[in-house]
Amino acid sequence: MDDLLQRCIVPAGGTVRDALSAIDRGASGIALAVDGGGRLQGVVTDGDLRRSLLRGTTLEEPLAGTLNTSFVALHRGAGRADALDLMRARQIDAIPVIDEDGRPVALHLLHAFIAPEARRNWAIVMAGGEGRRLRPLTDSVPKPMLQVAGRPILERIVLHLVGAGVTRIFVSVNYLAHVIEDHFGDGVRFGARIEYLRETEPLGTAGALGLLPETPADPVIVLNGDLVTNVDVGALLALHAARGFAATIGTRRYVHTVPFGCVTRDGDRVTSLEEKPSIVREVNTGIYALDPAVLRMVERGSALSMPDLLGRVIAGGGTVGAFEVEDDWIDVGQRDQLARAREGG
């Protein structure tokens, strides 16, 4: 019996207080009541206990009156998919697994299925720009702190990273840095550890990487701070690792339709006509995965753009890969893009 399961066990002949103690020990919202032979007799959740106490049950009363004996359980050998399907169908957060004798041998918890994989990768969010094209909106608010659907863009990025298992986040700041730092603090409120790379002068789209306090052991995610995106961080990192790229650029297909008929000619002789053709290009989304060796190419305190950094990688023989961002993505650089993000947010 594993440690978590052991902490959730309570004697079926115990009291309501015993069940509360078991729920507190297990921190799983459920207690499993077993008889003298270790066979599961019933379960009780923290919700069951609250309702019972509200009805006037005391802590010293027998647990039997509160116990749910019509509980849902899986038999040993059932897979995780079976457990998840059953929990979703029955709208429950925990389900015990029993052996052929009815003894609990495991406990499946819904949050363990949906909790993100904890990643050692860091993220660096570039949030030091002035957002001049969005003035006067950015006169007193830095562009990454403009709101989309009631939440700052940068907060959306942080929460998305945390949801993907990335919890150590560096934010480069310069213009109106205090607005960002006052909002996020140390990041604990957002489930992250947030540290700040303070630019005393603008360092470009990659220069702040030289301000990291140390070189990470794993590839890092780098994002521009003005993106509204649901990029699949795990898939980006997986492709980066599988292909052995030194750097990976998040890309997206961009289609521009020319609003006129177009003419191709040879001198003054027309060779073809095309009505309102579409031009398809692959654009840089401002999302990257970078190996630690790439970060060492950035000199501390020197301005550097991301294209120039990636150019250094290629010139040095490194491979730069592309990852197609198929999820939602809007670069909030101009008023029409901000309006689009707000309409869809």
User: Tens of pLDDT along 77-96?
Assistant: 777 767 877 887 788 889 99
| pLDDT recorded at residue 341 | 56
Cβ atoms of 63 and 10 within 8 Å: the answer is yes
Beta bridge partners of 279: 256
Confidence grade of residue 338 (pLDDT, cut at 50, 70, 90): low
Burial of 140 (0-12, 13-18, 19+ CB in 10 A): exposed
- Segment 302-307 shows an average pLDDT of 94
Residue 318 exposed, middle or buried by CB count within 10 Å (0-12, 13-18, 19+): middle
Average pLDDT score over residue span 26-52: 91
CA distances from 196 to 55, 146, 225 (A): 51, 19, 13
The tens digit of pLDDT for each residue in 137-191 reads 767 788 889 887 678 889 989 988 988 899 999 999 998 899 999 999 999 888 8
Q: How high is the pLDDT of residue 5?
A: 86
Length of the chain: 345
Mean pLDDT of the chain: 88
Q: How confident is the model at residue 345 (pLDDT cuts 50, 70, 90)?
A: very low
Per-domain boundaries in the chain: 3-114, 122-344
pLDDT band, residue 44 (cuts 50/70/90)? very high
Q: How confident is the model at residue 261 (pLDDT cuts 50, 70, 90)?
A: very high
Lowest-pLDDT range of 14-18, 64-68, 151-155, 324-328: 324-328
CA distances 279 to 259, 261, 266, Å, are: 11, 13, 21
Q: Is 265 left (phi over 0), alpha (psi -120 to 50) or beta?
A: beta
The C-alpha atoms of residue 337 and residue 146 are separated, in whole angstroms, by 12
Output the pTM of the full model: 0.65
Query: HSE of 2 in the Cβ direction (CA atoms, 13 Å)?
Result: 9
Fold of the domain built from segment(s) 122-344: Spore Coat Polysaccharide Biosynthesis Protein SpsA; Chain A (3.90.550)
- Give me the pLDDT at residue 230, please: 83
Q: Which residues contact 69 (CB under 8 A, 6 or more apart)?
A: 41, 42
Question: Of all helices (H) and strands (E), which one includes residue 141?
Answer: none
Mean pLDDT of 221-226: 93
Comparing 144 with 328, the larger pLDDT belongs to 144
State what percent of residues in the chain have pLDDT above 90. Answer: 54
Decide if 340 contacts 144 (C-beta within 8 A): no
Q: Which residues are catalytic?
A: 276
Going by C-alpha positions, the residue among 293, 315, 118 that lies closest to residue 218 is 293
Summarize the confidence of residues 251-273 as an average pLDDT.
92
Class of domain 3-114: alpha beta
The helix (run of H) or strand (run of E) holding residue 105 is: strand 104-109
Q: List the structure tokens of 65.
A: 């009156």
Q: Select from 125, 159, 122 the least CA-distant residue to 142.
A: 125
Q: Helix, strand or coil for residue 284? A: strand
Contact by Cβ (8 Å): 277, 262: yes
- Calculate the alpha carbon distances from 204 to 137, 174, 212, 320 in Å: 22, 11, 15, 20
pLDDT band at 2 (very low <50, low <70, confident <90, very high): low
* pLDDT-based confidence at residue 329 (cuts at 50, 70, 90): confident
The reply to whether 122-344 shares the fold of 3-114 is no
